[in-house]
Structure 1
Amino acid sequence: MRTDPVTLKVLENHAQAVAESMAFTLFRTAHSTFVKETEDFTTGLVTPSGMTFASPRDLGATWFIGLDYKGALEMIDHYEEGDICVTNDPYSGFVCSHTPDMHIWKPIFWEGEVIAFAVGHIHNTDMGGAVPASLSRANTEVHQEGIRFRPTKLVSRGVMNAQLIETMMLNVRMPEQNRGDLNAQIAAVNTGEAKMHEMIRKFGVETVKNGIEDLLDVGEARARAVISGLPDGDFRFVDYLDEDGPGGVPVRLDLTLKVRGDGVIMDFTGSDPQLKSALNMPTGGNPRHILLMVGYNYCLYTLDPSIPLNGGILRAATCIVPEGTVLNPDYPAAVGMRSLTCGRLQGVIMGAFHGAAPDRLPVGAAGGGGIVNVKTFDAASGKLSMASIDPVTGGAGGSAFGDGTDGSGANSSFLKNTPVEINEVEVPIKFRRYGLVPDSGGPGTARGGMATELEVEVFTPDTVITARNRDRTTFAAWGGSGGEPGAPSLFTRITQKGERINLGNTDVVSMGPGDVFNLTSGGGAGYGDPFARPIELVVRDVLRGSVTPEAAQSRYGVVVDREGHLDEAGTHALRQSHVTPPVTTYSYNASRRAYEAVWTDANYAALTQALTMMPVHWRHFVKREVFDRIASLPDNARKGDGSEIWEAIEAVKARVPGLLRSMQVRGAAE
């Protein structure tokens, strides 16, 4: 290491302070609610080759730690002082991950040499496209998800590219928001440049250059030290998205975590083929793409909260991601809803790491609520009004260390809620309820965090609600060590007549005057046997409204009324008669158990093998065909050993001659 430890720590703090100054600048000057309230943005500093070496710890979307800008940086021919570049194209350099994310970077020169780049992104409320807010799982190709820009210079030697901005504003629904947020981004990278110059003047350019590389080396060393504390072995975990599209079938995410000494391999073989919906994750096959590594970062940070937050920690891991899958799709697959897939993938990674360290990491977080956008009209003026009003995230999972956080926990806790008063000023709507849901946290010795409920009334025709990341209506958060799964999520439309319509995982809903929507997230899962939960904590939960008296009795073995009066004899009798079920590392809800009784590991393995032999553009079609055929089988024909899958594949080939010809052409080409 070229820098002594004391100086390096000082440099780390200075670099983080630069990144946080950028974040405060952006946070204070942004226009859209989604940036200035929800805080879906990032700022940071990256090396000349593109690796992040400094990020804020508290402000913004902290899940982009370790984002590699290399692909985008290299698409610009040359840099000059005063340049600022932008992109929002998911397939150009694989820095952006969907079109609303506008990434920006500015080279920081010192005596003619690029020392670093000031970088960051914001999530635009809208970038045009097929639906308000640009995102819906119903989209089938990236062209439907709004206007895209390859990496290009927004500012050249201090001169703004006015035509680029004009083209952008012409294609979005709320141009004043986009323009205001873009100006805030420019101010943020300018702040980063100024602060880095101060840092260089204070320490000297060679000290700063050496320190940047040493920070990454320290990050790697610390990550390897954390991994060395885990047992060697293979730890497999599987989870699902409820649907691959409207009215579709589940999407399987499959991970085998291989811990070997001070490094890990994350093998995603067995995950589903790329989809004809917007749930694909554009990673370009990068073995350390940040979308694949978020859950890894969270696990390492949980195991060692003092670990440096920079790209060096990613060097201890390598991902295997087959091409043409939902985690590595081919262009022009739609990717707008990648945040749902990424969120579930984070949980899959946490599940695998939980298998390696069940007493040190939590069980499943809630998910399923969505991020709510409203496009409506002011009843008096008739003017268009549009804003992102709230993330509805749900609680964290319990752990050996205690209960999961209620309302907003685990991997979604960086998304901040917007005060009701601000939302009702931004858009003409009325909040009827915004709070926590009793009995939604999975029972356990450590209870899962409670779900969040949002209920809103609209007042004008043609109001459109988008709730991206809707999920967890079928596959609830998983519990562990005897703890139970969390409650599933729910999305309901309530008409003026009082009719309640279950919207399932719908993410775009048209509503009329007087209509109400209720969006309830899932609940976090429980950890440990619920009947081992201290009685006084169950009584406290009842008094707080977290658990009803009925659930306290049936799920915890505690007899207590709403006033907190405990029936000690009744409680003793219930707990004495309780038979502790076999304790397993993971526990799943009834819907998942029923699904996996049909879709066994052997059946999925056969399907994965068969699809791998087919051209990418056939795989989703064949998967749907196979699912339809398996669903139509009588119970006595289900073996679960993979044989029914191969029979279904042969039936599809016979019905669709073009499939067999495509496979033959592909085989000849290989």
Structure 2
Amino acid sequence: MPIDPVTLQILANHAQAAAESMAFTLFRTAHSTFVKETEDFTTGLTTPDGQTFASPRELGATWFVGLDYGPVIRAIDDYREGDVCMTNDPYSGFVCTHPPDLHLWKPIFWEGELVCFAVGHIHNTDVGGAVPASLSRALTEVHQEGIRFPPCKLVSEGRLDRRLLDIMLLNVRAPTQNWGDLKAQLASVNTGERKVHEMIRRFGIETFRQGIRDLLDLGERQARRVLASIPDGDYPFTDYLDEDAPGGLPCRLHLNLKIRGEEAVMDFTGSDPQLAASLNMPTGNNPRHILLMVGWNYALYTLDSSVLLNGGLMRPCTCIVPEGTVLNPVFPAAVGMRSMTCARLQGVIMGAFQRAVPDRLPAGPASGGPMMNVNTIDSRTGRRVMAAIDPITGGAGGSPFGDGMDGSGANNGFLKNTPVEINEAEVPIRILRYGLEPDSGGAGLHRGGLATVLEFRVQAPGTVVTARNRDRTRFRSWGVQGGKPGAPSQFWRNPDTDRAENLGNTDVVTLDPGDVIRIVCSGGSGWGPAWQRPVEAVLADLAAGKITAEAAMRDYGVVPGDAAATAAGRGARAAPPARGLDARAERDAYERVWTEANYAALTEILALLPVHWRHYAKRRIFALVEADPDRRGDGSEVRAAFAALQAEFPQIAH
């Protein structure tokens, strides 16, 4: 029998507080900058079958709210008090989603009964593999992305498996750092156990046992309430990653969001095939896998911030994700950079919801900045340093209610910056500039959030900088309601010198002593026509250094100190607000060739091919279509290109 609503809300508060205490323990005791400063970690509590019923709101990453630990929980045959289990293998249950993410789960007992699990993950700065930080777009199979552990017991009845630990630390570049973070994780799940025991003593075992199920049911009811406020309909949305491999082709992510009363379907048919690069998202045919649902959770929470953050939010939705695609790859596809694909997918989902309720949701987030890692030698001590120094994030899109958050907003809002003093104390680099990039936010009635910029000088030869998740150098974020897209991202070696090199979407670069790196994220997009932005707001942005005088005139028609010129400039820009998205000329030019009909034909053809042929076939078809002088955009040139490919490779059909 469900417990009463008042008791349930009190229990919900206690459960969230327990998850927050776990997060605080981890945050305060971790060793790596990426955990203790950037906060790329999660904590939570799950039911005995792995359904997350409590997550923190104040600390850690927000991506894994509602993660189903059931597959890995079931992979262990027997649980005893004092056990702690772990995995970092993306293909063992599809709970871990790339090798640097180490997930732990601890069974919690009460009078001999298993009542729940304390769970969580950290992102290790490095787990070995082909490149420092273990992640690069260029990697082609999961074996290159570091050591992997299937679900196993790290601690058995309170005894640490030292042999397992030694194998782990032998295969990573910063073993002391990894061991320090792992100890923080163990402390975190122990905190969760203690807090659960406190809840049971307060509420009683029967109320606790029933209440954690009721919390999931309440999350589901809240999600259904939000869906009921959205008009029924089909809301398609598409966006692109710049490259499906280094120097490659754009990677298409497509969604048709179908709202029907209190339920929804997210159909990702039309997204690109599985890639020969590490951008694949391992979801294992799970119709509610968390990587597919992060944007769903964000959209629901944006529409109603009172919803509980638990697995119940996802129950009203079913995802359709064809196997062998970038969103549902098969082993041994590389998955290390799945975070970039997932971040872009979050924007796609928010874009589909934005079409459904355009006056309630923001424009496109930046989603184009990397996590920065440095692998170098400290010349003062001779010590090798492997460290994350900062996430280079962009702002949120402008919304119907105001400007987008500058620097770190929307789906990157949980990522925290590392102070310059800490970076310079822990890593032998000299930071020359760190702040907001002027003119990077998309113009609009409500301006898009500005991007961050980082510029630093390295000191040792052979320094390797890994800038994972580099993107948005080509396809910008999308403005809505007449708002303009944010600025593209930038990555430069030795900028403003005769040795300047544009690194584009490169994500691993080896540097010499004295080399300077400058990296700028893309910006958030604007909401509403720029000419409608109050002159006072434009002048305030100018005074704060958020825009330049040139941008004030170009984008907003505002000339400081000249009311007549401002009136003329804004009048010349006045036009009825556009209702669709604006992603500028780069996307328009691409979609004149790769129309909906051409992509539909490509999707149909590739779905019939063996998985290992799809990426190659896509690239060949693209080349043939680009060379076709008689393009019509109706799918016929795609079918003709495939026919030519079949003639060259008859075995492709088998």
If the TM-score is normalised by the length of the shorter chain, which range does it land in? Answer: over 0.9
Q: Do the aligned residues in 2 keep the contact of 1:396 with 1:408 (CA within 8 Å)? A: yes
The equivalent of 1:421 in structure 2 is 421
- State the match for 2:128 in structure 1: 128
Offset at 1:584? 2.4
Distance between the aligned counterparts of 1:503 and 1:308, measured in 2?
A: 43
Residue from 618, 621, 632 that aligns with 1:623: 618
Please tell me the residue identity of whatever aligns with 1:593. Answer: D
In the TM superposition, residue 53 of structure 1 has moved relative to its aligned partner by 0.2
Contact kept? 1:86, 1:103, Cα under 8 Å: yes
2:641 paired with 1:648: yes
Amino acid at match of 1:412: N
Is the deviation greater in 491-500 or in 358-367?
Answer: 491-500
The reply on whether 1:39 has 2:39 as its aligned counterpart is yes
Partner of residue 598, structure 1: 593
Are residues 1:385 and 2:385 paired?
yes
Partner SS state of residue 581, structure 2: coil
Task: Specify the code of the residue in structure 2 equivalent to 1:111.
Answer: E
Shift of 1:382: 2.4
Matched, 1:100 2:100: yes
Give the fraction of aligned pairs with identical amino acids, expressed as a percent: 65
- Secondary structure class of the residue paired with 1:376: strand
Q: Does 1:446 align with 2:441?
A: no
Report if aligned partners of 2:393, 2:407 keep a CA contact under 8 Å in 1.
yes
Alignment deviations for residues 324-361 of structure 1 (CA, whole Å, 9 cap, x no partner): 00000000000000000000000000000000111100
Q: Residue 219 of structure 1: SS of its match in structure 2?
A: helix
CA distance in 2, matches of 1:545, 1:193: 49
Offset of residue 198 of structure 1? 1.1
Q: Deviations over 1:624-662 (max 9, x none)?
A: 11111122233xx111111100011011111123313x2
Equivalent residue letter for 2:596: D
Instruction: Indicate conservation of the 8 Å contact 1:495/1:514, yes or no.
Output: no
Partner of 1:588: 583
User: Aligned letter for 2:589?
Assistant: A
Whole-angstrom CA distance in 1 between matches of 2:120 and 2:641: 48
- 2: CA distance between counterparts of 1:107 and 1:584? 51
Number of the residue aligned with 2:21: 21
Distance in 2 between the 1:577 and 1:418 partners?
Answer: 44
Deviation of the 1:495 alpha carbon: 7.3
Question: Displacement, 1:577?
Answer: 3.0
Q: Encode CA deviations 1:565-622: one digit per residue, 9 max, x unaligned.
A: x211111122223341561221112111111111111110000000011111110010
For 2:521 and 2:496, the matched residues in 1 are separated by: 24
Residue segments in structure 2 that go unaligned for 5+ positions in a row: none
Letter in 1 for 2:584: N
Partner SS, residue 68 of structure 2: coil
Q: Report whether the alignment pairs 1:233 with 2:222.
A: no
Q: What is the CA–CA distance in structure 1 between the aligned matches of 2:502 and 2:367, rounded to whole Å? A: 18
CA 1:266–1:496 in structure 2 vs 1: closer, same or farther (change >3 Å)?
closer
Instruction: State which drifts further: 323-332 or 542-551.
Output: 542-551
Report 1:325-336 matches (<5 A).
325-336=325-336
Contact 1:72 1:93 (C-alpha < 8 Å) held by counterparts: yes
Q: 2:282 maps to what in 1?
A: 282
Residue of structure 2 equivalent to 1:518: 518
CA contact (8 A) 1:242 1:250 kept: yes
Task: Say if 2:387 is the partner of 1:398.
Answer: no
1:496–1:514 contact (8 Å) kept in structure 2: no
**Offset, 1:112:** 1.4
Residue of structure 2 equivalent to 1:371: 371
Distance in 1 between the 2:496 and 2:598 partners?
46
Letter in 2 for 1:351: G
Contact 1:81-1:107 within 8 A present in 2 as well? yes
One-letter code of the match for 1:211? Answer: G
Candidates 573, 576, 599, aligned match of 1:578: 573
Distance in 1, Cα, partners of 2:547 & 2:375: 36
The one-letter amino acid paired with 1:534 is P
Report the CA distance between 1:430 and its aligned residue.
0.5
3-state SS of paired residue (1:467) = strand
Q: Which amino acid aligns with 2:649?
A: V
Displacement of 1:310 in angstroms is 0.6
Q: How does 1:463-482 map to 2 (within 5 A)?
A: 463-482=463-482
Q: 1:497 to 1:350 in 2, by over 3 A?
A: closer
Query: Which residue is equivalent to 2:501?
Result: 501
Amino acid aligned to 1:229: S
Kept in 1: contact 2:628–2:637 (CA 8 A) = no
Could you list the per-position Cα deviations for residues 296-343 of structure 1 after superposition, in whole angstroms to 9, with x for gaps in the alignment?
000100010111111001101110011000000000000000000000
Contact 2:531 2:574 in 1 (8 A): no
Moved more, 126-135 or 364-373: 364-373
C-alpha contact (below 8 Å) 2:528/2:577 kept by paired residues: no
Does residue 657 of the first structure (1) align with residue 650 of the second (2)?
Answer: yes
| Range with greater deviation from structure 2 (490-499 or 449-458) | 490-499
User: What letter is aligned with 1:610?
Assistant: I
Following the alignment from structure 1 to structure 2, what is the Cα–Cα distance between the partners of residues 295 and 493? Answer: 34
Asked if 1 retains the 8 angstrom alpha-carbon contact of 2:105 and 2:118, the reply is: yes
Query: Aligned partners of 1:197 and 1:575: how far apart in 2?
Result: 64
**Paired residue for 1:609, among 604, 607, 611?**
604
Whether the 8 Å CA contact 2:495–2:518 is kept in 1: the answer is no
Worse-matched range after superposition: 45-54 or 488-497: 488-497
Equivalent runs, 1:523-534 vs 2, <5 Å: 523-534=523-534
Are 2:70 and 1:77 equivalent residues in the alignment? no
Distance 1:590 1:70 in 2: 46
Q: Note if contact 1:374-1:387 (Cα within 8 Å) is conserved in structure 2.
A: yes
Distance 1:555 1:72 in 2: 52
CA contact (8 A) 1:559 1:570 kept: yes
- Are 1:3 and 2:13 an aligned pair? no
Q: Deviations over 1:22-71 (max 9, x none)?
A: 11111111010000000000000000010100010010001211000001
- Alignment of structure 1 residues 116-515 onto 2, 5 Å: 116-494=116-494, 498-515=498-515
**Between Structure 1 and Structure 2, how many residues are aligned?**
654
Q: Structure 1 length normalisation: TM-score? A: 0.97
Question: How far apart, in 1, do the equivalents of 2:482 and 2:78 lie?
Answer: 58
Take 1:496 and 1:244, find their aligned partners in 2: how far apart are those partners? 30
The CA distance in 2 between the partners of 1:239 and 1:435, in whole Å, is 28
2:598, 2:634 within 8 Å by CA — same for their partners in 1?
A: yes
Q: Is the 8 A contact 2:481 2:577 kept in 1?
A: no
- Report the residue type matching 1:49 in the other structure: D
Query: Alpha-carbon deviation of 1:258?
Result: 0.2
Q: Is the 8 A contact 2:267 2:319 kept in 1?
A: yes
What's the TM-score once normalised by structure 2's chain length? 0.99
SS of aligned partner of 1:620: helix
User: What SS does structure 2 have at the residue aligned with 1:243?
Assistant: coil
| Matched residue type, 1:538 | V
CA distance in structure 2 between the aligned counterparts of 1:387 and 1:156, rounded to whole angstroms: 31
Separation in 1, partners of 2:81, 2:498: 62
Q: Distance in 1 between matches of 2:351 and 2:587?
A: 15
Change (3 A) 1:428 1:267: same
Q: Distance in 2 between matches of 1:207 and 1:577?
A: 66
CA contact (8 A) 1:496 1:515 kept: no
The answer to whether the aligner puts 1:568 opposite 2:563 as a matched pair is: yes
Unaligned runs of 5+ in 1: 561-565, 663-670
8 Å contact kept, 1:495–1:515? no
